[in-house]
Amino acid sequence: MTVEMKLVDRFALKNALKIHRGHGERVVFTNGCFDILHLGHVRYLKASKALGDVLLVGLNSDASIRGIKGNNRPINSEKDRAEVLAALACVDYITIFEEPDPLNLIEEVVPDVLVKGADWEASQIVGADLVQGYGGRVVRIPFVEDVSTTRLIERILRVYSA
């Protein structure tokens, strides 16, 4: 599947998921900023894909990230972040959302499995109650220690300020 086919708006996404579900495929949903893709992201996304048949990534828009992390983020634009994610074989679809959290998107796509990193407490996972309420699963994937976008940025700043 090409990058253009993987990055879809919500309308196209709902139609694509209807086809997948018609074939009995399970939809896995995760979300995040994925600002500077690193080993932790790749392991997380591969593990997420292994939980079902179709992996959908809800990608925070640039404005959404600025609202969460401040004006210095994201480092990479939403278009660039989406293209990098689309290049991964484990990612089937990406859709960008503007809201601070993915609850509306989760309500629209009704995933069979909702995934977040284990660094998120179960009670903090947006949409968990909703997904579990209709019989879906919520899975927390182990966090790769000492690997994060924030740590990468800090390391780069230390190296270039020395």
> Residue 151: which domain range?
3-161
* Number of compact structural domains in the chain: 1
pLDDT digit string (tens) for the chain, length 162 residues: 777 899 999 999 999 999 999 999 999 999 999 999 999 999 999 999 999 999 999 999 999 999 998 999 999 999 999 999 999 999 999 999 999 999 999 999 999 999 999 888 888 999 999 999 999 999 999 977 777 878 888 888 888 887
Report residue 44: phi and psi, to 5°.
Answer: -60, -45
CATH of the domain at 44: 3.40.50.620
